[in-house]
Amino acid sequence: MTLRAAPDNSVTAASETSVAPPPRWAVLAAHLTALVVLPSGLWRIALVLGYPAGYTEAGFAPFETAESKVWMLTLSVICESVALLTIGLVRPWGEVVPRWMPLIGGRRVRPLAAVVPAAVGAAGLTLIWANVPWWWTYPHEEMTATGNLVVGILYQPLFLWGPLTAAVTISYYRRHRPLRRGADGPAAA
């Protein structure tokens, strides 16, 4: 069953499929985005709870302020929330806004309204986390040797966040792009 936009741009059910279902690899990649962000977020939450998590006593001191704790908790929640949004590119709520959303609930999601922010986000995430594989080549005097190793390992998955998001975004775009009419037939992809 598909969803079609009614004249008021709300969605009604139809018997045909409007877009192809996402490929299995895209569904897996979308779910992996949430998982690659999780280890670093859990590490930051350990800091918020007062566990030094690999820092020396002097290195941990700046993280004991209320402002630092609020910032780390906020950063963890925002990162995981943004990663979870990638799942919308392979789920029905990425095509139709859930009805419980005020003002826009039930409306069809315009493909470029999902693709453009996701593509910009994927590019930004790729740039932000590009140096993570070289974590151990940078000095971390404020960390213990074991802490440096563990934190490096926990942050390594973030290197995949941008590319995974880009792959899922490309899949979403390909499934939602308008068909072009060609001279050889009624519709060519």
C-alpha angle with apex 1: 30 to 82, nearest 5 degrees?
A: 20
Using alpha carbons, select from 110, 116, 82, 115 the residue that is nearest to residue 95: 110
CA dist 14 and 108 (Å) reads 14
* Poorest-pLDDT segment among 13-22, 102-111, 149-158, 170-179: 13-22
Q: For residues 75 and 37, is the Cβ–Cβ distance under 8 A?
A: no
Q: Give residue-wise pLDDT tens across range 44-97.
A: 999 999 999 899 999 999 989 999 999 999 999 999 999 999 999 999 888 888
pLDDT of residue 161: 97
- The pTM for the full model equals 0.81
Q: Where are the domains of the chain?
A: 21-176
Q: Give residue-wise pLDDT tens across range 152-167.
A: 999 999 999 999 999 9
CA dist 132 and 139 (Å) reads 13
Using the Cα atoms of residue 46, residue 47, residue 53 and residue 57 in order, give the sign of their dihedral.
negative
Using alpha carbons, select from 41, 28, 127 the residue that is nearest to residue 87: 28
Q: For residues 14 and 1, is the Cβ–Cβ distance under 8 A?
A: yes
Averaged pLDDT for residues 165-172: 97
Q: Give residue-wise pLDDT tens across range 125-162.
A: 999 999 999 999 999 999 999 999 999 999 999 999 99
| Residues 6 or more apart in contact with residue 152 via CB below 8 angstroms | 135, 136
**24-48 vs 145-155: helix crossing angle, rounded to 10:** 150
Q: Which amino acid is at 152?
A: G
